[in-house]
Chains A and B, each alone.
Chain A
Amino acid sequence: DQQVKQNSPSLSVQEGRISILNCDYTNSMFDYFLWYKKYPAEGPTFLISISSIKDKNEDGRFTVFLNKSAKHLSLHIVPSQPGDSAVYFCAARRNNRLAFGKGNQVVVIP
């Protein structure tokens, strides 16, 4: 039972444009949400997070938006760079355990 869902498994975007990744969740008890980035042959690395009591968190080119009523969060990358080409995983925390989505492949075209 997938509690964290990432649809549209792949995204291609031109360098300099915005990348938007979406994530939906089903469990209203999640209290913290995170995005991880993964390059091939490497482990995922933490990118950005947001508490359930907030609706936006920004860190440089990365912004995460949370819409609790819709159980939806999104990651915006502006401007996109070729080095952003990776798989992005959405994760949600409950009871100190993380549930991950399936991941989104992002390809940034130079």
Chain B
Amino acid sequence: DVKVTQSSRYLVKRTGEKVFLECVQDMDHENMFWYRQDPGLGLRLIYFSYDVKMKEKGDIPEGYSVSREKKERFSLILESASTNQTSMYLCASTKNRVNTGELFFGEGSRLTVL
């Protein structure tokens, strides 16, 4: 079974802090994604990556950056956290670029910014 592991389930940070959210998948998937989930808004794509050192902006990239130094690891970075970034963050992966869209999600990281 594919396992997508997010390093922190719950985080509390202060406004202006730098925040790292880590995601690791163990099935040699090429594609990795970061979403945020907010009530009434569903899942929105922040950034994604099709390969190591490659990244593309999703629908709401402002205030975020990402890093993919190794194939199995995709990190989401909040350079200066703000209260409107309080959310549930979900990492996901799929095998390769030509896929059916079936994403494997991690359990999520709930971030609260005070």
Contact = CB atoms under 8 A, between A and B. Distances in A.
Given A100-B44, A101-B42, A102-B40, A45 B101 contact: no
Interface string A8-44: 0100000000000000000000001010100001111
A47 to B, nearest CB: 10
Nearest to B35: A100
B105 A34 contact: no
B43 A89 contact: yes
A31 B103 CA distance: 16
Nearest to B104: A46
Interface residues of A, number: 23
Interface in A79-110: 89, 91, 93, 96-98, 100-103
Interface string B33-48: 0010000111111001
B108 A41 contact: yes
Contact of A93 (B4, B97, B101, B106): B101
Contacts of B100: 32, 34, 49
Interface of B: 4, 9, 31, 35, 40-45, 48, 58, 90, 92, 97-108
Interface of A: 4, 6, 9, 32, 34, 36, 41-46, 49, 89, 91, 93, 96-98, 100-103
Given A49-B100, A89-B42, 17 more contacts: A6-B42, A32-B100, A34-B100, A41-B9, A43-B90, A43-B105, A43-B106, A43-B108, A44-B43, A44-B90, A45-B105, A49-B102, A96-B98, A96-B101, A100-B43, A102-B42, A103-B42
10 tightest A-B CB contacts, nearest first = A43-B105, A100-B43, A102-B42, A93-B101, A100-B42, A46-B102, A44-B105, A43-B107, A32-B101, A43-B106
